[in-house]
Amino acid sequence: MEMFCFQCEQTAHRKGCTTTGVCGKSADTANLQDELTSAVIELANCNKINDENTNLIIEGLFTTITNVNFDNKSVKELTLTIKSKISCNSEFDIKSVWNCNEDIRSLKSLILFGLKGIAAYAHHAANLNYKDGEVNNYFYEALQGISKDLSVDELTALVLKTGEINLKCMELLDRANTETYGNPVPTKVTTNIEKGPFIVVTGHDLHDLGLLLEQTKDKGINIYTHGEMLPCHAYPELKKYSHLKGNFGTAWQNQQKEFDNLPGAILFTTNCIMPVKDSYKDRVFTTSVVQYPECTHIGEDKDFTTVINKALELGGYNEDKEITGINGGEVLTVGFAHNTVLSVADKVIDAVKTGKLKHIFLVGGCDGAKTGRNYYTEFVKQTPENTLVLTLACGKYRFNDLDLGDINGIPRLLDMGQCNDAYSAIKVAVELSKAFNCSVNDLPLSLVLSWYEQKAVCILLTLLYLGIENIRLGPTLPAFVSPNVLNFLVDKFKIKPITTPENDLKEILEQC
């Protein structure tokens, strides 16, 4: 069976997966996801804007993000539900986009993949009862745009509007998270595991973690975060649970090794789930949009009893277990979102003015399996002592156990949170630019980003919408960016691929 998918960084031959997905997605799942995407576009074309339709659009788009749903049955069911609601005759097949002229295909892909990322963030915010009319309305406008015969200029405007709307959506999610769980505070997190039953929670959904913590209270079970859940230790209303003990493992691409025969239960709340090996299939649970064949799915009632029982049955380790991060460190410090960083803005400004702080790097984004991603570890290790490194998303596991020391009492490595907390980085950059009375592009700040899936696409579009220049992107450029679209991005935004840590650092610091 044939398929076509080129939405993520690990796509085959940097062109597209055509027989099976490098991510493990089979051709039939890929084709079912195309049908789901087509149905979502038909719904947006036909139906009026209301909560029911918007929820279906958001769920449909989120379901097709890389490493979210490998379960044909649930993808089919969602497609059928959406099709049953479509109120006019509007046949659309997303495959027609894959067959377009390469520039149109490229621009429509940027819109669609960016929209998937926005859908994920809107989904998390909605779980905490935060919604935004402008964000919701844009799903319809952008999906209609994808099905229309628009010009390159019209599509380019939509690409940048996707970035603008994602900024609003990340702001919404930031508000949802901080108003519900408090502003993150600096917190040290251990990488070690205590003996006894435990549950590992991974993904991005704070609401699911909050519910699990409440249901496991006083049950003799410890909870460990994994992947993008790590920043949750910094939220006062989550860190108050004494059985939220630490963080297990590193980024998503190491899960098959790290979960092998793990004596604990594992709950996936969002991406990234990889093909589940038999050695731990019986202890993997999914919820929300994540589904994997043969793994127990926790439905909308969010009753985690089966997860709790599995953790008790497995019993955990007999003795406390020492586990380190990639570089041998045992402590990860989190909690440097905008509120904390801006509370020491005076110190940062003073350090810049007195020359103690020469440059700020934002080294953030997705992790992945490619060996070239070691660039990010080396880059951070080589940053001079008079520089700060801001980080976010799961790519940070390559260096977040390093102790880089501090400048004026400010740690040199500042973990701002999950990928959506790019909002924090933007907020800090904007405030610094006001303090220095210059544009963000004139700040001593450089962005060195890594991407893998579609949330990274919407974040990149936000940075472009804001006019941020000289972004370094790796480990490779997206396959769906055509040569002409790339030329446009290079001309207008001076976007560039990463080279070597030595070269890039030299080039950045020479420009200061």
Size of the site for ligand SF3 (CB under 6 A): 16
Cis ω on the peptide bond leading into residue 236 (within 30° of 0)? no
Question: CA angle, 426 as apex, 187 and 14 as ends, to 5°?
Answer: 95
Closest approach of ligand SF4 to the CB of residue 30, in Å: 6
C-beta contacts of 355-358 below 8 A and 24+ residues apart = 355/386, 356/386, 356/407, 356/408, 357/386, 357/387, 357/388, 357/407, 357/408, 357/444, 358/384, 358/386, 358/387, 358/444, 358/509, 358/512
Closest approach of ligand SF3 to the CB of residue 326, in Å: 15
**Segment near ligand SF3 (CB under 6 A); pick from 11-19, 106-114, 140-148, 452-460:** 452-460
Residue 208: CB atoms within 10 Å:
23
Burial class (CB in 10 A: 0-12, 13-18, 19+), 101: exposed
**Segment near ligand SF4 (CB under 6 A); pick from 10-18, 119-127, 163-171, 484-492:** 10-18
Contact partner, 5, from ligand SF4, ligand SF3, none, Cβ < 5-8 Å per class: ligand SF4
Half-sphere exposure of 458 (CA within 13 A, CB side): 29
For the chain, the 3-state helix, strand and coil shares in percent, each to the nearest 5, are 50, 15, 35
**Is residue 7 at the binding interface for ligand SF4, with CB under 6 A as the rule?**
yes
**Is residue 8 at the binding interface for ligand SF4, with CB under 6 A as the rule?**
yes
**Is residue 455 at the binding interface for ligand SF3, with CB under 6 A as the rule?**
yes
CA dihedral 68, 125, 449, 164 (to 10 degrees): 120
Per-residue binder mask for ligand SF4 (CB under 6 A), 289-318, x = binder: ------------------------------
CA distance readout (Å), 310 to 34, 44, 280, 286, 314: 35, 41, 12, 13, 6
Q: Closest Cα partner for 430 from 334, 345, 336? A: 345
**Is residue 22 at the binding interface for ligand SF4, with CB under 6 A as the rule?**
yes
Place of tokens 């801006």: 342
Burial class (CB in 10 A: 0-12, 13-18, 19+), 91: exposed
* DSSP string covering 306-340: HHHHHHHHH--BSS-B----TTS--EEEE--SHHH
Q: 35 with 79: CB under 8 angstroms?
A: yes
Give me the residue whose beta carbon is nearest to ligand SF4.
21
**Is residue 419 at the binding interface for ligand SF3, with CB under 6 A as the rule?**
yes
**Is residue 267 at the binding interface for ligand SF3, with CB under 6 A as the rule?**
no
Single residue of 209, 366, 388, 402 touching ligand SF3 by CB under 6 A: 366
Single residue of 38, 66, 74, 420 touching ligand SF4 by CB under 6 A: 66
**Is residue 17 at the binding interface for ligand SF4, with CB under 6 A as the rule?**
yes
**Is residue 9 at the binding interface for ligand SF3, with CB under 6 A as the rule?**
no
**Is residue 113 at the binding interface for ligand SF3, with CB under 6 A as the rule?**
no
Which is closer to ligand SF4, CB of 401 or CB of 453? 453
CA distance readout (Å), 353 to 3, 359, 364, 388: 56, 11, 26, 15
**Is residue 271 at the binding interface for ligand SF3, with CB under 6 A as the rule?**
yes
**Is residue 37 at the binding interface for ligand SF4, with CB under 6 A as the rule?**
no
Closest approach of ligand SF4 to the CB of residue 457, in Å: 12
Which is closer to ligand SF4, CB of 6 or CB of 235? 6
Q: 25 with 293: CB under 8 angstroms?
A: no
Which is closer to ligand SF4, CB of 248 or CB of 451? 451
Closest approach of ligand SF3 to the CB of residue 163, in Å: 17
**Is residue 228 at the binding interface for ligand SF3, with CB under 6 A as the rule?**
yes
Q: 356 with 407: CB under 8 angstroms?
A: yes
Here the tokens at position 89 are 């005759």
Single residue of 176, 393, 432, 485 touching ligand SF3 by CB under 6 A: 393
| CA–CA separation, 470 and 476 (whole Å) | 16
**Is residue 118 at the binding interface for ligand SF3, with CB under 6 A as the rule?**
no
Contact partner, 366, from ligand SF3, ligand SF4, none, Cβ < 5-8 Å per class: ligand SF3
The rounded Cα 455 to chain-centroid distance in angstroms is 5
Single residue of 1, 2, 5, 344 touching ligand SF4 by CB under 6 A: 5
Closest approach of ligand SF4 to the CB of residue 65, in Å: 8
Containing H/E element for 411? strand 410-411
Q: Closest Cα partner for 334 from 256, 227, 258, 486? A: 227
**Is residue 227 at the binding interface for ligand SF3, with CB under 6 A as the rule?**
yes
Contact partner, 11, from ligand SF3, ligand SF4, none, Cβ < 5-8 Å per class: ligand SF4
Q: 105 with 154: CB under 8 angstroms?
A: no
Contact partner, 393, from ligand SF3, ligand SF4, none, Cβ < 5-8 Å per class: ligand SF3
**Is residue 62 at the binding interface for ligand SF3, with CB under 6 A as the rule?**
no
Which is closer to ligand SF3, CB of 268 or CB of 488? 268
Which is closer to ligand SF3, CB of 247 or CB of 418? 418
**Is residue 366 at the binding interface for ligand SF4, with CB under 6 A as the rule?**
no
| Interface ranges with ligand SF3 (CB under 6 A) | 204, 227-228, 252, 271-272, 366-367, 393-394, 418-419, 452-453, 455-456
Q: Which residues bind ligand SF4 (CB under 6 A)?
A: 5-8, 10-11, 17, 21-23, 25, 30, 66
